[in-house]
Structure 1
Amino acid sequence: MSGKPRNVAFLIIDPQNDFHEGGSLAVPGADEDAVRIANLINDNRDKIASIYVTMDCHHRMHIAHKGFWTNDQNEMPAEFTMITNADIKSGLWKAAQPENQMHVEWYTKMLEEKNRFKLTIWPEHCLVGTKGNAIVPSINEAIQDWALEYSTVVNYIQKTQHCLTEMYSVFQAEVPLPDVPSTGLNTALLAELGQTYDRVVVCGQASSHCVAFSVRDLVEHWPHYSGDRPISDIILLSDGMSPVATFEKAGEEFVNEMKDKGVTVLKCNQVIL
């Protein structure tokens, strides 16, 4: 490839091993998505100005992992258990550390008031320092080759590091914690994406969760941070993402919602940068 890069950014959401085949929270279709994403990057290196890669970075004792919770029988909840505010008030589930009990009562109440996903106990995934946390090889090779060719760096954005809140969106936590600024709205990233690049291409995992919540936040704040540029400058790769198993409906609803809002939704082989 040759020539000066054009002003296009890629925002790749959580392309990590644990969301791909063999991972603890593997998303059906993610491996094929990753190959298409990598091919698109390889074919358009000279047109990409920046690549942002978000990374789920969990501690084991996270509010959405089983070890955070217990019951009167000293049992942990099964994976994919959904814990409601009523469950906590009734004593069905409680925080394993008593000092967190008031927080989980408040937290689940806030989730329900904001009409967010119910607190779900996920398989432990993307733990800091594990292989599952690393970028899937197909995408990693493509972004490293791009970085080497243009003597630049990939922008890695770690999320979900705070154990007392979930963070599907790269831009803010499900319930921002008042005393933890990093869980609040990331206005700097919104402004950088909205004001620096001609177009932003979004892909990754999963369309039902982290991609969906990230793009919804980007779209909601785009007019303010982009100077009223058209929403169509955001390109969503429909075959560069897949839903978590059993959440297929949520993934479909997200894509349809983004089309209705004016986001450009394309397959990888339809993208012309």
Structure 2
Amino acid sequence: MTTTALNQLPIPQHFQADRVGEVWRVPYQERAAAAEAWAKQHHLQPAAKDKTRICLMLVDVQNTFCIPEFELFVGGKSGRGAIEDNIRLCEFIYRNLGVITEIASTMDTHTATQIFHPVFWVNDAGEHPNPMQMIQLDEVKAGIWKVNPAIAYSLAQGNYMALQQHALHYVQQLADAGKFPLTIWPYHSMLGGIGHALVSAVEEACFFHNIARHSQTRFEIKGGNPLTENYSVLRPEVLEGPDRRPIAQKNTRFIQRLLEFDVVIIAGQAKSHCVAWTIADLLTEIQSQEPALTEKVYLLEDCTSPVVVPGIVDFSQEADQAFQRFAAAGMHLVQSVDAIASWPGISL
């Protein structure tokens, strides 16, 4: 089968693979003109005319996770995981520009005082936990780690006891649900900061697609609630406080939008955390509605890497086990180098 028959396009000359691991300004006006010319040259139709509607969901492809100098660079096993993933991801977007209907990017979005950041917790010596440290249920019960009293004014109108009660309830909920213990992360994806932004090369590819296909890039914000983690864009880790009142809710609107597409392709960072959690929540929703819909989900396995911090943590095994579980449920594990039209179950 020829490249034309597979609906693949060449890579535009402006794409530079050796700059994917860097931060730079996208020249929007220049790229917009090039995208319009590209669409005309390759006879690309507006996305609204697509017979097979394909959504590419990018999970947290942000500087904070994807650039080596930033806070939570996902190096994976190779040490360059997110960079290598994003080179393949950009090339995938450009080659399949004519058949991807919409790109939806999730944006991990945080402020300093949140339950998974160091300043939220203190011990009797007034020390904060270290980044990558896990807060265990027994430690909170024993008072080894407590909510920092100084943050009660900002988060609970001065009601420290309510905040402490929530913290104990929170780690209990994680344990009861069989989830990872509460991980203290470095300050990352800070709203208003450079780390929050999309990787420049990926932003450029999304913008190019937006103009060439007349398809607005969708952005889904997650993670701003100070009282819960939000690995998945579809729902936070804990929905209720100790009084059973809701503190957050699942993203029903986005779930339904995803399921309206004929094909949903998922890539991003990190495979072991935000990607796996998002897919798991999507699978739960599908199984509660119509299990056969799992067959419309395709996971770009070569465009995602697990969290690996040499000598500290390695979530590679957990990530691989999660993806095998998704495949067993009916989702497809695919490679970005293969044309979408060649994937099982797709007719363009």
Whether TM-score is above 0.5 comes out as yes
Cα deviation, residue 220, structure 1: 1.6
Out of 216, 237, 248, which is 1:153 matched to?
Answer: 216
Instruction: Could you tell me which runs of 5 or more consecutive residues in structure 1 were left unpaired when the two chains were aligned.
Output: none
| 1:29-86: CA deviation from partner (whole Å, max 9, x where unpaired) | 0011111111111111121111110011011111001011111101001111111221
Taking the aligned partners of 2:245 and 2:224, their CA distance within structure 1 comes to 15
Partner of 2:192: 129
Partner of 2:267: 203
Q: Which 10-residue stretch deviates more, 127-136 or 262-271?
A: 262-271
- Structure showing greater radius of gyration is 2
> Do residues 3 (structure 1) and 45 (structure 2) align?
yes
Taking the aligned partners of 1:84 and 1:223, their CA distance within structure 2 comes to 31
User: For the Cα contact (< 8 Å) 1:190–1:222, is it kept in 2?
Assistant: no
Partner of 1:238: 301
Alignment of 1:51-200 (within 5 A): 51-97=103-149, 98-99=160-161, 100-177=163-240, 179-180=245-246, 183-194=248-259, 196-200=260-264
User: For the Cα contact (< 8 Å) 2:61–2:269, is it kept in 1?
Assistant: yes
> Do residues 256 (structure 1) and 324 (structure 2) align?
yes
Partner of 1:22: 69
Q: TM-score, normalised by structure 1?
A: 0.94
**One-letter code of the match for 2:284?**
E
Partner of 2:3: none
User: For the Cα contact (< 8 Å) 1:171–1:214, is it kept in 2?
Assistant: yes
Identity among equivalent positions (%) equals 31
Cα deviation, residue 249, structure 1: 1.2
User: For the Cα contact (< 8 Å) 1:207–1:243, is it kept in 2?
Assistant: yes
Instruction: Could you tell me which runs of 5 or more consecutive residues in structure 2 were left unpaired when the two chains were aligned.
Output: 1-41, 76-80, 150-159, 309-313, 342-348
User: For the Cα contact (< 8 Å) 2:46–2:214, is it kept in 1?
Assistant: no
Taking the aligned partners of 2:174 and 2:296, their CA distance within structure 1 comes to 31
The Cα RMSD (Å) is 1.5
User: For the Cα contact (< 8 Å) 1:12–1:52, is it kept in 2?
Assistant: yes
Cα gap change, 1:122 to 1:142, in 2 (>3 Å): same
**One-letter code of the match for 1:22?**
E
Cα deviation, residue 191, structure 1: 1.3
